[in-house]
Amino acid sequence: MYWLDPSRLAKVAILPLIVGHAALVVGGWYGASVLIRKGYQGALLYAAGAIALVLLVLFVAGIHRLSTAAEYQAFHEGQGVPLFAVQVGWAFLVSLLALFGSAIYVAIELGRDGRRVRAR
């Protein structure tokens, strides 16, 4: 989001981000399934709500950076263009819809899994 100049970073700097993302996905899946199995679905909903609130605040705080298509130097010089003026904006929209669809599917499957476990 234009905070760091990517030309000054090593190519392996992305690896901790990838590992961290994988840990969040697996940890979130495991944590949610544990909470559902133990009957703490209310706590899970509060946690999901808190995460959604934090993401909303970050989105609102970074709306200018998120809605501008430019390279690092061009952004800081004010030469960026609106995100949907280029194809990457539409690709981002499709990715976002896929993300929400996947999250809804995971929530449904976790709910079904929790009911099956409690029924045993």
Mean of per-residue pLDDT scores for the chain: 87
Average of per-residue pLDDT across 105-120: 75
Q: Is residue 3 part of a domain?
A: no
Query: Is the pLDDT at 119 greater than 80, yes or no?
Result: no
pLDDT digits (tens, 9 = 90+) for 36-78: 889 898 998 899 899 999 999 999 999 988 888 888 888 888 8
Contact 1/92 with Cβ under 8 angstroms? no
Tell me whether residue 60 is in a domain.
yes
Q: Is 44 part of any domain?
A: yes
| 33 pLDDT above the threshold of 80 | yes
Please indicate, yes or no, if residue 1 is contained in any of the structural domains. no
In a domain, 4, yes or no: no
Residue 1's pLDDT band, with cuts at 50, 70 and 90, is low
Domain tally, the chain: 1
Q: Check residues 29 and 118 and name the one with the higher pLDDT.
A: 29
Q: Residue 86 carries which DSSP code?
A: S
Domain that holds residue 31: 12-119
Which single residue is written with the structure tokens 């280029």? 86
Q: Say if 6 falls within a structural domain.
A: no
